[in-house]
Amino acid sequence: MQNAVKRIGVLTSGGDAPGMNAAIRSVVRSALARGIEVIGIRRGWQGLITGDFVQMDSSSVSRIINRGGTILYTARSEEFRTEEGQKKAAATCKLLGLDGIVAIGGDGTFRGAQALSRHGIAVVGIPGTIDNDIVCTDYTIGFDTAANTAVECIDRLRDTMQSHERCAVVEVMGRHAGYLALYVGLATGATAVLVPETEYNFDEHVADKIRQARLGGRTNFMIVVAEGAASAMAVGEEIREKLGLDPRVTILGHIQRGGDPTAKDRVLATRMGHEAVRVLAEGGTNKVVIDRNNEIIAMDIDEGLSMMKTLNGQEFEVMRAMTGQ
């Protein structure tokens, strides 16, 4: 039977994440292998509204699997949040003859995909965010790379903190979720980790941990702070005022989003891109591709976004044992 899906679009939206290019490459080449044309939508949902697109072929995605960022660029679109903006985006899809859209991004991207599906456009989402906060998947594209970047930076800082016998406060990304901070804290042997899921208490979460470490013979301390848990600068000031130490504060910021993706992120992105094309080709819509126990599957976006995700209980328990939390 002839494939009913002839042409699809692919876009990246929201914050960039290492591995997005690998996902784009996978979508393009998986689609071409099925005889499906691919249109790259530049600048996310806003590009779909304005008709900012490029036709893609196999050569257009050559040598991008190892590159960070996204060759399609990314943007946030307030206009797309409106009914009128969504209608414009759907009209662009119809004008270009798109039979479906693969949207790579985070929670906001998927809510945009939900909205577009209500206008009759087939959509499949691929989770790409360094925060790893998409509730229905074990891992998101970019998390592993961001974690490794933060670990490398903290390891370098630790050398200086040990040499000068100082305290370091390092802020990592995670405005609403502490998955990255907890994972990085475990990997670096942090003295304390602050996450937004737990209400910040200086005495309990910082002072007591530093005191216990000092009584144990340590003279340098590493405090990892998720940006949504507390201000790293404010934590540093409290340490100076209440404990008499001279801390150094480092905010890693957007450096965590850049750089070449790890092997894990490249493979995950490639597998997810391939699955997203399969779902569209077989008539699926309003789906999100997820990693569940290292199996790449698709589930309903509505169901996926309604699920609750908490910090890894085992990781949290181990962190408590390591730091006395």
- pLDDT tens-digit profile of 205-230? 999 999 999 999 999 999 999 999 99
Burial tier of 180 (Cβ tally within 10 Å: 0-12, 13-18, 19+) = buried
The catalytically annotated residue of 99, 107, 131, 133 is: 131
Own/partner long-range contacts of 116-119 (Cβ < 8 Å, ≥24 apart): 116/86, 116/89, 116/90, 117/285, 117/286, 117/301, 118/86, 119/86, 119/87, 119/89, 119/90
pTM above 0.75, yes or no: yes
Establish whether 131 is a catalytic residue: yes
Model pLDDT for residues 26-74, shown as the tens digit of each residue: 999 999 999 999 999 999 999 999 999 999 999 999 999 999 999 999 9
Topology of 7-142+261-306 in CATH?
Rossmann fold (3.40.50)
The domain spans of the chain are: 7-142+261-306, 145-258
pLDDT digits (tens, 9 = 90+) for 131-181: 998 989 999 999 999 999 999 999 999 999 988 999 999 999 998 889 999
Domain covering 145-258, topology: Rossmann fold (3.40.50)
